[in-house]
Amino acid sequence: MPAARRLSPTAESHWQRWTMDMQIIVTDPDALAAARRAVDAELDAIDAAASRFNPDSEINGLMRCGRPTEVSELLAELLGAALLAAQQTDGDVDPTVGARLIDLGYDRDIAAMDSSVPLAMSVSQAADWSMISLHGRIAAVPRGVVLDLGSTAKAVAADRCAARAHRVTGAGVLVNLGGDIATAGDAPDEGWQVLVCDGDDEPATMVALSPGVALATSSTLRRRWRRGQRALHHIVDPRSGWPAEPVWRTVSVVAASCLAANTVSTAAVIRGWRAVDWIRAQGLPARLVDSDGIVHTLGGWPAEHPGGRR
């Protein structure tokens, strides 16, 4: 996943959470401890609100309820983001694929999954995002529908973490949550230097993000598991009910928010080759690596440097 590199005097922290690499960089070294505390507090709150792997999370209570319920401001924001992404992508990014992910074996944290279990061909309840109701803080999820906000919630988390850390410290901040990158405040003089790459043998390139800009990378190379003889990944096409065909190994998009970037990068993985014209029409800088490792750049993404492998 993309990793930020620093040149100007800054400070950074790396750690693991949600079975992914996380990183924060601040332009004021004295602000690092406070910024990290702010990020941890934000992630704790999002985990308590929206994790389907946490049986005590607010979203699990909402799904068990099966009737209109008042939810917290945070969960309402996360649900709203998921429904907005679904609307903007004509349902390609659909938060109601949770039951299908469970059918496919993604029923627990990826690190705890048992690949020896055969693929169950159960048929989950048909669902789509239009079945979810949200009016202000009143939300309703039909009984039996399982929400998975993983894609959009992580992007919102990056946006919120960067904003909160900047608000607390006044420093320029970059937050990287497993490839979902958000920035807030001033950037170093050379911009936020980010190495975009999803593995040691994958094509790599360095980009400089301006202040307040976000970058998201969606990948079919990560969060993979096996069921019997079948290799699976976590980006499910809601129409087929199966992991998206790996036309793209990775898709990276730059936008004004991490949520906006992630919405496009995730939908692009699902849309396959159709994504090229769709992204081009939006004018967003994007980098797509196809199944043969060939890099395609759109919307003013900088040209790749020869031999760009990490």
- Report pLDDT digits (tens) over 64-89: 999 999 999 999 999 999 999 999 99
So what's the pLDDT on residue 306? 42
Q: Look at residue 116 and tell me whether its pLDDT is greater than 70.
A: no
Taking the alpha carbons at both ends of the chain, their separation in whole angstroms is 12
Provide CATH code, domain 3-298.
3.10.520.10
So what's the pLDDT on residue 111? 54
Contact indicator for 178, 18 with CB cutoff of 8 Å? yes
Higher-pLDDT residue of 114, 271: 271
| Among the listed residues 125, 159, 152, 180, the one whose alpha carbon sits nearest the alpha carbon of residue 59 | 152
Q: Look at residue 126 and tell me whether its pLDDT is greater than 80.
A: no
Where residue 45 falls (left for φ over 0; alpha for ψ -120 to 50; beta otherwise) is: alpha
47-61, 275-289, 294-308: the lowest-pLDDT one: 294-308
Q: Look at residue 17 and tell me whether its pLDDT is greater than 70.
A: yes
Q: Whole-angstrom Cα distance, residue 215 to residue 134?
A: 28
Percent with pLDDT over 70 in the chain = 82
189-223 b/e (C-beta count within 10 Å ≥ 16 → b): eebbbbebbbeeebbbbebebeebbbbbbbbbebb
Q: Whole-angstrom Cα distance, residue 90 to residue 227?
A: 30
33-47, 93-107, 214-228, 275-289: the lowest-pLDDT one: 214-228
Higher-pLDDT residue of 228, 146: 146
So what's the pLDDT on residue 19? 82
Q: Look at residue 142 and tell me whether its pLDDT is greater than 90.
A: yes
Contact indicator for 280, 298 with CB cutoff of 8 Å? yes
So what's the pLDDT on residue 308? 39
Query: Following DSSP, what letter does each residue of 60-129 receive, concatenated?
Result: HHHHHH-S-EE--HHHHHHHHHHHHHHHHTTTSS-GGGHHHHHHTT--S-GGG--TTSPPP---PPP--G
Query: Following DSSP, what letter does each residue of 155-188 receive, concatenated?
Result: HHHHHHHHHHHHHHH-S-EEEEETTEEEEESPPP
Q: How confident is the model at residue 309 (pLDDT cuts 50, 70, 90)?
A: very low
Strand-pair category, 133-135 with 138-140: antiparallel
Tokens of 44: 């704790």
Strand partners, 96: none
Q: Look at residue 115 and tell me whether its pLDDT is greater than 60.
A: no
Higher-pLDDT residue of 219, 278: 278
Q: Look at residue 280 and tell me whether its pLDDT is greater than 60.
A: yes
What's the whole-number average pLDDT of the chain? Answer: 87
Q: How confident is the model at residue 302 (pLDDT cuts 50, 70, 90)?
A: confident
Phi and psi for 5 in degrees, rounded to 5?
-115, 150
Q: Look at residue 259 and tell me whether its pLDDT is greater than 50.
A: yes
Q: Look at residue 307 and tell me whether its pLDDT is greater than 50.
A: no
Once rounded to an integer, what is the mean pLDDT over residues 210-222? 90
Q: How confident is the model at residue 109 (pLDDT cuts 50, 70, 90)?
A: low
Q: How many residues does the chain have?
A: 310
Once rounded to an integer, what is the mean pLDDT over residues 255-279? 97
Q: Whole-angstrom Cα distance, residue 162 to residue 182?
A: 6
Token look-up 């496919």 returns 104
- pLDDT digit string, tens, across residues 20-65: 899 999 999 999 999 999 999 999 999 999 999 899 999 999 999 9
| Among the listed residues 6, 78, 92, 71, the one whose alpha carbon sits nearest the alpha carbon of residue 43 | 78
Neighbours of 166 (CB within 10 A): 25
Tokens of 221: 């190379």
- pLDDT digit string, tens, across residues 222-253: 665 555 556 665 788 888 878 878 899 999 99
Q: Whole-angstrom Cα distance, residue 104 to residue 182?
A: 31
Say what the pTM is: 0.89
Close Cβ partners of 142 (under 8 Å, ≥ 6 residues apart): 66, 127, 131
Neighbours of 15 (CB within 10 A): 11
